[in-house]
A and B are shown apart, each in its own frame.
Chain A
Amino acid sequence: MSTIFTSSIGKKLMMSLAGFFLLAFLLVHLGINLLVIIYDDPMVYNKVAHFMGTNILVKIFEIVLMGGILLHIIYALILQIQNWIARPKRYSKANYSNTSFFSKFMIHTAIITLVFLAIHFADFYFKAKFGHTETLVVDGVLYHDLATEIVDKFKMLPFVVFYIAAFIFLGFHLVHGFQSAFKTYGLDNSRFTPVIQALAIVYSVVIVGGNTMIPLMIYFS
């Protein structure tokens, strides 16, 4: 008998739990990044970034987050490969059906997001952790000037375009992922599901809107 970690339903549960955890993280991430455009003083963002980079609880959370990303990717890959194997010969004519549009492109939007994530990590995360960034000393404490780093990056047009495009694709991924997770948890009925579907759209619009607003406002400021 298969276990909760190896059965088809179990694997989906693991993937969706990890995915939902990432949904929560995206909100926190957006909230912090909005500080760059809300406050003119770059030190507000730098102080929060400093706290995030040095607090022990946040550091533990960081490991959990990396685990969540890995878990989501590994389970998604296993499921996707099994799904490809389950249909060895494809139909010659594309299947027309009244299905959720974005659900058909989850693996494609996932690959785009993964490429974006690698570039994003190289640009900000690894640079802040291990690379060279400008530093500031305020009240005897050394801060990485990440706010200026962000502003410098988003003054470059190709960078702005790439970030916006990546977030739009991520938004497509989130619309289906958000509402699909609830079905995987077994929560689906005629009253509950329309609310969840509406929430999925609101959530995705907030994430995409917020994250595209940051580069746009910096570029045009």
Chain B
Amino acid sequence: MDLKLKIWRQKDSQSRGKFVNYKLNDVSPDSSFLEMLDVLNEELVERNEEPIVFDHDCREGICGACGMVINGRPHGPDSLITVCQLHMRKFKHGDTIVIEPWRARAFPLIKDLMVDRYAFDKLIQESGFVSVNTGSAPEANSIPVKKHYADLAMDAAACIGCGACVAACKNASAMLFVGAKVSHLTLLPQGKIEAKERVLQMVAKMDELGFGNCTNTGACEAECPKGITLTNIARLNREYYYAKV
């Protein structure tokens, strides 16, 4: 298939970026979206032009490195997948595809489609962990966990920190990410011990990093490649109030 691509190009964080139009012919419908960009980049290199910079790593949908807004949707026109799992058969011959980076003050642009998502790492560093003694691994069955809570914690732990929630939210809020991390740890006995400090510190850090405020629109839930639900945001709210009183 032949495609018209409208891609955001920006030299660095200080430069003014702009959309550049490209034509790409004979794209295989079986190729992934990132492979399509690889082909375009090879053409650009052959023409002695600067290739398009974008994040990617595992290309198996589990690392959370890739991410771009395709035709207005983070990770493109499909549900529960990352960009690397998006295939060109989702598009038609002659389509124009608009590709933009994540847009958020907390995710400053580095180059082209690559943004700095270090803000998420800072959130984890702040309190997104459990303190444990080093040594040999404890016996797994020594701390009983109810199946219901184990399932909820596992669902929350599916978050890969790709940032699609922030990208999709009209307020660039990180509440779904923080909600997932707080839920994942707080639902388990090991995480309950530091639950209060964790939620207070993570919310304070989230505000400090310049993310927006949640307005419960559900855009994050709709675009999350791992199906993290809004109930995690409600749990974050509950945990926050509980820690405050």
Nearest CB in chain B: distance from A26 CB, A = 20
CB nearest to A101 among chain B residues: B217
Nearest CB in chain B: distance from A113 CB, A = 16
B219 near A4 with CB under 8 A, answer: no
Which residue of B105, B206, B214, B219 is within 8 Å of A99 (Cβ)? B219
Count A interface residues, CB 8 Å: 43
> Which of A45-53, A57-65, A178-186 contacts the other chain?
A178-186
Interface residues of B in 196-242 (CB under 8 A from A): 200-201, 203-204, 206-207, 210-219, 222-223, 230-231, 233-238, 240-241
Tell me, yes or no, whether A72 is within 8 Å of chain B by CB: no
A83 near B207 with CB under 8 A, answer: no
B72 near A94 with CB under 8 A, answer: yes
A188 near B234 with CB under 8 A, answer: yes
Interface residues of B in 137-192 (CB under 8 A from A): 168, 170-173, 175
CB nearest to A11 among chain B residues: B213
Given that A87-B172, A183-B233, A187-B234 are contacting pairs, would A92 and B100 also be in contact in the complex, using a CB cutoff of 8 Å? yes
Tell me, yes or no, whether A218 is within 8 Å of chain B by CB: no
Given that A4-B244, A99-B219, A186-B241 are contacting pairs, would A87 and B212 also be in contact in the complex, using a CB cutoff of 8 Å? yes
1/0 per residue, CB under 8 A from B, across A1-35: the answer is 11010011111110000000000000000000000
Chain A residues with CB below 8 A from B207, complex form: 2, 7-8
- Which secondary structure dominates chain B's binding surface? mixed
Nearest CB in chain A: distance from B49 CB, A = 22
Which residue of A7, A89, A97, A186 is within 8 Å of B238 (Cβ)? A186
Interface residues of B in 97-124 (CB under 8 A from A): 98, 100, 103-106
Given that A8-B206, A96-B73 are contacting pairs, would A103 and B236 also be in contact in the complex, using a CB cutoff of 8 Å? no
B213 near A12 with CB under 8 A, answer: yes
Docked CA distance A123–B201 (Å): 49
Tell me, yes or no, whether A93 is within 8 Å of chain B by CB: yes
Tell me, yes or no, whether A82 is within 8 Å of chain B by CB: yes
CB nearest to A79 among chain B residues: B213
Tell me, yes or no, whether B125 is within 8 Å of chain A by CB: no
Tell me, yes or no, whether B22 is within 8 Å of chain A by CB: no
Chain A residues with CB below 8 A from B200, complex form: 1
B105 near A180 with CB under 8 A, answer: no
Nearest CB in chain B: distance from A101 CB, A = 9
Q: Can you sample 18 A-B contacts with CB below 8 Å?
A: A1-B201, A2-B204, A8-B173, A9-B236, A9-B237, A12-B213, A82-B212, A83-B171, A87-B170, A87-B171, A91-B103, A93-B100, A96-B71, A96-B73, A186-B235, A187-B234, A188-B230, A189-B231
Q: A1-B200, A7-B240, A90-B103 are in contact. List 15 more A-B contacts (CB 8 A).
A: A7-B207, A8-B207, A9-B236, A9-B240, A10-B240, A82-B212, A88-B105, A93-B72, A93-B98, A97-B218, A98-B222, A99-B218, A183-B237, A185-B237, A186-B235
Going nearest first, the 6 A-B pairs with the smallest beta carbon separation are: A186-B238, A86-B212, A188-B234, A83-B171, A93-B72, A103-B217
